[in-house]
Structure 1
Amino acid sequence: FDADEEDEQQQQRKVSSGDGIHHKIEEEDGEDEEEEEEDDALATPRWPQSYRKSMDIYSHMPSPSLNFLTSPNVSRSSLLSTSLGKHYESATSILDPLLTDQEFDKDEKRLTPSMPPPPPPQSHIVTVSSETRLRKTSSTRISPSSDAQDYHHLQLPKQGCTFFQATLNGINVLAGVGVLSTPYALKQGGWIGAIILLLFAVVCCYTGILLRKCLESEPGLVTYPDIGQAAFGRIGRLVISIILYVELYACCVEFLILEGDNLASLFPNARFSYNGHKMESQKVFSMIAALFILPTVWLRDLSLLSYISAGGVVTSIIVVVSVWWVGAVDGVGFRNTGSFINFGNLPVSIGLIGFCFSGHAVFPNIYSSMKDRAQFNRVLQLCFLLCILMYGGVAIMGFKMFGAETQSQVTLNLPKQFVASKIALWTTVITPLTKYALTITPVALSLEELLPTQVSKNHFASVLIRTSLVTSTLFVALMIPFFGFVMAFIGSFLSLTGSLILPSACYLSISGRRIPKTQAIICVMTIFIGVIAAIAGTYSSVTGII
């Protein structure tokens, strides 16, 4: 009997201990479920969901195939086919799901062959650390977003971009209107600006490679905002998106100022008056340019416009050749000299140079579109090498030609009697007319996301948003018609932040202690230099505007 009683007592102790363990496991499972729910809420990508789609169009991503122009799934609605008050179901909706989860998983694997496989499922997780929670926030949950669905919907070719096509896309993003102000940057800062131009090209190429490492750190990272979310959560995604969108908006302001300046140079005798009040020709031409641009921003399908604007590489080459022709063949010559360094205006020079290499918003899209992503570093290096030749060539030639008389746009200095000068001027005028709509579209789509679904499907709401954006950029251009100082502000406050500070900060946050100390020191130094240059350049440019 004593033995039986002892056995019963031991069995009761086992049962009670088992119940305790069971209750403990249930409590831990409940905590895990709560943490997973929090992680799911954090991992679900919010605004902006249209970033990848709009940036693909902006950077001319569908270049490998002309089938994009005739894709039956691309929305063809425009003012000619859709009334302003009519509700329509756009095939390119940025909010409606386009694929089921299974279909998306298959297509995602097909479109991103070089992405590392997702981590194996963990069925017995008792505790979740803060680091694990951050990793889960930035993991594969990001990929099934509207961004990815819209990316699939663009029907990019299965083979992806070749090395040559990716290089053209990169140069098309980097080689813009900044080439016109490089001589002015040397005038502001002195010949040391040429050295700074080279150093910035090297550093920006390096930070572009850092973005690639961020993309490869975890599966599902595709765009710059995705990297921000992986590094700093939703706040990082929001901050990076706002900075990039404000930069695009400011570039549209620059386009209108550019149009007014160059058209006024082409028609110097134009006079405008209203009720006896004389109006500046530069401002009137900016308003005329805005009227011509307005119908292009109403278009829902910008694929044709993206192919036209892809000639940005050609237009930059035309400007370079025209400046050389005026100096070498037409007899202007390269006789002027200048000081080596001008400390007073050096921050403005740094801002102008920073504007030239602000392509990081699109680099992740170029990387994702490549057939062989292992060549991405070579693509970046070649893009920056060719751009430094163009920027440096125009900077040195323009400053040697006009010296202290160099204006904010080198085209304004070119003698009007020469054919090469007129070619450069008209090329400069035509280019923004095609690039404006592509540049403002990402901003418009991001604002449409903030509207209720039924309102965002209304074509009138879309037209109203885009018209308001054009009107507001025109208002800013009329109030601040200083091309050089506005560009310096964009380059200092926005471009340096997006090209130097944020890539380094995101890489440090994502990689943590896994990176070598030398690389960590380089990233910290890049952030420090970027912050100092951004503060000094922003202050100097704002002072110049005021």
Structure 2
Amino acid sequence: MEQSSSQSSAERGEAQRQTLHQSDDDQGTSFWRSCFNLLNTLSGVGLLSVPYALSEGGWLCLIIMLLIAISCFFTGLLIQKCMDSSSEINTNSTYPDIGERAFGNKGRWLISTFMCLELYLVAVEFLILEGDNLEKLFPYAYVHLGKLKLGAKQAFVLLVALVILPTTWLRNLGLLAYVSAGGVLATLVVVGCTLWIGAVDGVGFHEKGEMLGSLGGVMRALSLCSFCYAGHSIIPPLRNSMRDKTQFSKVLIFGFAVSTLTYGSMAILGNLMYGQHLHSQVTLNFPTNKTSSKVAIYTTVVNPITKYAIIVTPVATTVEDGIQALSRRRWDNNVAVIIMLTARTCLVISTVVVALTVPLFGPILAFVGAFLNVTLSFLFPCACYLKINAGARRFGIELCIILMILGLGSLIFVVGTYISIRDIIRGMSH
């Protein structure tokens, strides 16, 4: 049983490392490639929601965004210290391995569960995003299936799922990982188009916004900003893949600094353009009769399609490992392929069902940020570090910083989760 658990962990670690764009030689990934990998991880759909977060929380939430970025950078360093201080955490280790080193099997199980649930809901968000933005471009694309009439949004969610489904059947994600490297370029394109829409296409920068929003608005902003800096599950394989691991702290500095600059720029541009009229995705505010708007929306639509398979693969691998563990026998190749195809197809279908049932991009994003990302990026790294390193529990500056991060994380976790669930219930009732 222990051997099977170890093998599953190694397989998951290998799946994660395949999503990193490692160099082909055996010396490891270069410094700049590692910077790019981290930046690609941090540059996601959160870019579309930060203007809405700022409009909800007010201009002072820029300070909150910076505080969250610094906190997540610091907890990234804590994960690195956990790896450096323990000989039991080797070069094949993943985030759950650190949890197991700190708290045993319960730690591994807890972190793995939160990681899988996070990735699953991000995949759901991808489908909601696709439906929202394609409906923006083609609002009258209704589909009739017998007596069943599908609106444009529902039809596009199903269509995108059919396009994505074959990519989830691939075991080797090397090609998809290479294609998804365009994520950083896509981020720059969307920011550039937003600037062009405001400065050239006539929208302008006339909105003033609020200095500070309501308590609920501030908590939504905290939750959404927390989502933007969710990348801690990739830190162990990213650090282990580096040629010179002593430079990893500089990789963290680069990744978090550039992503914060990008998110901050997008938040400021969106608020000056649309203020309190912002949707949860800023692309839904863009005028569709402008070329720059179409470029931004199409870029937004294409990017998640290339990343969906990479996002759901760790979840699918965990499900397949669980099925094999329950069967208590080794499968031949044909059975393994059938199980893999069935599990991944059912996984895609389930994300479609959730996306069609709860098509609320902003509230779900806030829930993921408050409940899952805060746990993985704030609470677990601090708890694991304090457990593994006894010296860290002595009173000092480091412990004070950790306690402040735990306090901030706990606040977002409790209040942010409550508000996001309340928003989901209200959205479902309308």
Tell me the TM-score normalised to structure 1 length.
Answer: 0.73
Cα deviations across residues 487-514 of structure 1 (Å, max 9, x unaligned)? 0000010000000000001000000135
1:437 aligns with 2:315: no
What residue is the counterpart of 1:173 in the other structure?
41
Measure the CA separation in 2 of the matches of 1:269 and 1:426. 17
Shift of 1:46: 7.4
- Tell whether the 8 Å contact from 1:455 to 1:461 is kept in structure 2 after alignment: no
1:337 aligns with 2:208: yes
Helix, strand or coil at the partner of 2:27: coil
- Tell whether the 8 Å contact from 2:219 to 2:415 is kept in structure 1 after alignment: yes
What residue is the counterpart of 2:60 in the other structure?
192
2:372 to 481, 494, 504: 494
Shift of 1:48: 4.1
1:383 aligns with 2:262: no
Higher helix share: 2
What residue is the counterpart of 2:428 in the other structure?
none
The residue identity in structure 2 corresponding to 1:540 is I
Cα deviations across residues 3-53 of structure 1 (Å, max 9, x unaligned)? xxxxxxxxxxxxxxxxxxxxxxxxxxxxxxxxxxxxx96997475443211
Shift of 1:456: 7.6
1:241 aligns with 2:117: no
CA distance 1:54–1:44, shift in 2 (3 Å): closer
Higher relative contact order (CA 8 A, sep 6+): 2
1:56 to 14, 17, 41: 17
Cα deviations across residues 356-383 of structure 1 (Å, max 9, x unaligned)? 0000000111110111111111110011
CA distance 1:503–1:283, shift in 2 (3 Å): same
What residue is the counterpart of 2:343 in the other structure?
465
1:183 to 32, 36, 51: 51
What residue is the counterpart of 1:365 in the other structure?
237
What residue is the counterpart of 1:203 in the other structure?
71
2:300 to 428, 448, 451: 428
Cα deviations across residues 277-297 of structure 1 (Å, max 9, x unaligned)? 543211111111101111111
The residue identity in structure 2 corresponding to 1:51 is R
Structure ID, larger Rg: 1
- Tell whether the 8 Å contact from 1:183 to 1:398 is kept in structure 2 after alignment: yes
1:542 aligns with 2:421: yes
Helix, strand or coil at the partner of 2:330: helix
The residue identity in structure 1 corresponding to 2:62 is A
Measure the CA separation in 2 of the matches of 1:298 and 1:220. 34
Helix, strand or coil at the partner of 1:257: helix
Cα deviations across residues 226-260 of structure 1 (Å, max 9, x unaligned)? 11011101110110111111101111000000110
CA distance 1:456–1:520, shift in 2 (3 Å): farther
Helix, strand or coil at the partner of 2:178: helix
Q: Which runs of 5 or more structure 2 residues have no equivalent in the other structure?
A: 426-430
- Tell whether the 8 Å contact from 2:392 to 2:399 is kept in structure 1 after alignment: no
- Tell whether the 8 Å contact from 2:47 to 2:228 is kept in structure 1 after alignment: yes
Cα deviations across residues 320-372 of structure 1 (Å, max 9, x unaligned)? 10101111121211110111122222211111110000000001111101111
Q: Which runs of 5 or more structure 1 residues have no equivalent in the other structure?
A: 1-39, 66-156
Shift of 1:523: 1.3
1:303 aligns with 2:169: no
Measure the CA separation in 1 of the matches of 2:150 and 2:317. 35
- Tell whether the 8 Å contact from 1:492 to 1:537 is kept in structure 2 after alignment: yes
- Tell whether the 8 Å contact from 1:50 to 1:446 is kept in structure 2 after alignment: no
CA distance 1:462–1:516, shift in 2 (3 Å): same
- Tell whether the 8 Å contact from 2:197 to 2:203 is kept in structure 1 after alignment: yes
Shift of 1:310: 1.2
What residue is the counterpart of 2:388 in the other structure?
510
Measure the CA separation in 2 of the matches of 1:515 and 1:531. 19
Shift of 1:515: 5.3
Tell me the TM-score normalised to structure 2 length.
Answer: 0.93
- Tell whether the 8 Å contact from 1:57 to 1:306 is kept in structure 2 after alignment: yes
Measure the CA separation in 1 of the matches of 2:5 and 2:358. 40
CA distance 1:258–1:456, shift in 2 (3 Å): farther
Helix, strand or coil at the partner of 1:164: helix
Measure the CA separation in 1 of the matches of 2:276 and 2:314. 39
The residue identity in structure 1 corresponding to 2:403 is V
1:398 aligns with 2:270: yes
What residue is the counterpart of 2:411 in the other structure?
532
What residue is the counterpart of 1:272 in the other structure?
143
Measure the CA separation in 2 of the matches of 1:439 and 1:400. 33
The residue identity in structure 1 corresponding to 2:11 is S
What residue is the counterpart of 1:485 in the other structure?
363
The residue identity in structure 2 corresponding to 1:517 is F
- Tell whether the 8 Å contact from 1:456 to 1:462 is kept in structure 2 after alignment: no
- Tell whether the 8 Å contact from 2:21 to 2:178 is kept in structure 1 after alignment: no
Shift of 1:189: 1.3
